[in-house]
Amino acid sequence: MNSKNLILLILMISTLTARSQKNDDPTIYQFKVTNLEGEEFDFNTLKGKKVMIVNTASKCGLTPQYKKLQELYEKYGDKDFVIVGFPANNFLFQEPGSDEEIATFCEKNYGVTFPMMSKISVKGKNMHPVYQFLTQESKNGVLSSSVSWNFQKYLINPDGRVAKVISPRTQPDDPTVISWIEN
């Protein structure tokens, strides 16, 4: 192989490598976050599962949804379904606590065992990258949305792509959600 062909081959390999590293195939699996215990949580570990991502708050009229979220997790958690909660203080300061206080509240009041992440922002200039992905079509490749209140639910298909956005007032065990989980 002459040097001209070798250079061409190297350029082709470099281009293919760069393409494979770009986010041409946007999925939730690209993210690593911190859970309430301060440990890394890698969304890549959820490949092949249906995922519900929900922003939560401890002092909201919708806070009792924790009970139904936990029931849903107990019913379907062993069937390739997981709920990931993200406490957020974006709406009327309804999640003022520290990560430790939030963990205690969730355990004590609702027996929450599904993964709960460290408190983040789900709106505005400090929006967490996971929520940038969930709300911006340019990042998720599917749809744009905005987080309207606490307990908005994002349903993620087993391929890591956004499937649906569920209103905060829609209960976690709504037939639409159950149908998506079971089918």
Which of the following is catalytic: 33, 60, 62, 178? Answer: 60
Instruction: Give the number of domains in the chain.
Output: 1
Q: Within a domain: residue 171?
A: yes
Residue 22: per-residue pLDDT: 45
pLDDT band at 13 (very low <50, low <70, confident <90, very high): low
Residue 9 lies in a domain: no
Query: Is 60 one of the annotated active-site residues of the chain?
Result: yes
Distance CA 117, CA 85 (A): 6
Query: Is 59 inside a domain boundary?
Result: yes
On average, the pLDDT of the chain sits at 91
Residue 14 has a pLDDT of 53
The answer to whether position 2 is within a domain reads no
pLDDT at res. 172: 98
Residue 66's domain is classified under what CATH number? 3.40.30.10
* Domain extent for 95: 26-182
User: What local confidence, expressed as pLDDT, does residue 61 receive?
Assistant: 96
Kindly state whether residue 70 falls inside one of the protein's structural domains: yes
Q: How many CB atoms lie within 10 A of CB 73?
A: 20
- For residue 16, is it within any domain? no
Place of tokens 């355990």: 107
Mean pLDDT on 156-178: 97
Q: Evaluate whether residue 112 is within a structural domain.
A: yes
